[in-house]
Amino acid sequence: MDNHNGRIKLPKIGWMRYRKSREIAGTPKNVTVSLVHGKAFISIQTEREVATPMHPSKSSVGLDWGIKRFYTLSNGKYREQLSPLQQFAVKVAKLQRVLNRKKKFSNNWKKAKFKVAKLHNKIANIRKDFVHKSSKDLSKNHAVVFIEDLSIRNMSKSARGSQEKHGKNVKRKSGLNRAVLDASPFELRRQLQYKLRWRGGLLVAVPPQNTSRRCPAVRYGFCGESQDAGEVLVPDWGRGDMMGQEDCNDDRANRDQPGDYDGKTRYSGDANHGGADPAQAR
């Protein structure tokens, strides 16, 4: 590798020039070349010693991901959903119709296919930029972030059923699945995990059961009918008896997450954070 002149030697190809987006620090271990929509990108993995940082903030916050809002925090702040696929849905459908009318593998078909792929690449870049900016803001301002341990695969399963047993509300569930995948909730979790670790923070995943139904105001009290000792479950958009608490599901869920820290909690970080208390990561 010629770091000074921006060149790298690839097996069976030879020396290749590339545009450096940043200086390469450490000892190079492997190189990955990828082709994305006609553009070649090179990723260089290096090995170097990195000191364990201390997060400048002492704040901890609960985060609840949703379809209408991208996320809602326990401090009342939230970020609206971007939904880039929905924004370009009309244009995608138009280009897809043009592609379907072309003779397969003809030159015009290849041109139309390139336009469809270019638009989908633009949508993916918009989504990626939005998630990166959101995760950067969260990781900079909070040392510990609590999230629900959601199974995106189960949330986006098809409702078609089988030949023997047909599914219900298939079209509606298909639209919901599309909205879930367009919001990319797992990508937000993945980015939060490594960005918090970079800054010395911690990402904690709590069990998602009943976080949207449990009333945070009377969580440790006894109010009205309770299913479990010390818990009061209220209907969605419900009101905690005698407490005057009325919140949306996301608001209730994210305020309840820090209180769900127990032995079932899974840490999304490196081995150093293993069984430590979240407060020790600040």
**Is 200 in the same domain as 78?**
yes
Phi, psi of 126 (to 5 degrees): -65, -45
Average pLDDT over residues 182-204: 94
Q: Taking the model in full, what pTM does it have?
A: 0.72
Chain segment 145-179, per-residue pLDDT in tens:
999 988 877 777 777 776 666 777 777 778 888 88
- DSSP string covering 62-92: EEEE-SSEEEEETTS-EEE---HHHHTHHHH
User: How many domains would you assign to the chain?
Assistant: 2
Q: Give the DSSP letter of residue 151.
A: -
**Is 108 in the same domain as 148?**
yes
Q: What is the pLDDT of residue 215?
A: 61
Q: Alpha helix locations (H) across the chain? A: 84-87, 89-101, 107-141, 152-155, 170-183, 185-198, 249-256
Residues 202 and 277: their CA atoms lie apart, in Å, by: 10
Q: What is the pLDDT of residue 252?
A: 55
| CA within 13 Å, CB half, 199 | 24
Q: What is the pLDDT of residue 259?
A: 55
Flag the least confident range among 107-121, 197-211, 250-264.
250-264
**Is 26 in the same domain as 153?**
no
Q: 139: domain range?
A: 60-211+257-281
**Is 73 in the same domain as 181?**
yes
**Is 65 in the same domain as 124?**
yes
**Is 276 in the same domain as 139?**
yes
**Is 26 in the same domain as 66?**
no
Q: Give the DSSP letter of residue 122.
A: H
Q: What is the pLDDT of residue 232?
A: 43
pLDDT at 279 over 50: no
Chain segment 21-51, per-residue pLDDT in tens:
888 889 999 999 998 888 899 999 999 998 8
**Is 18 in the same domain as 66?**
no
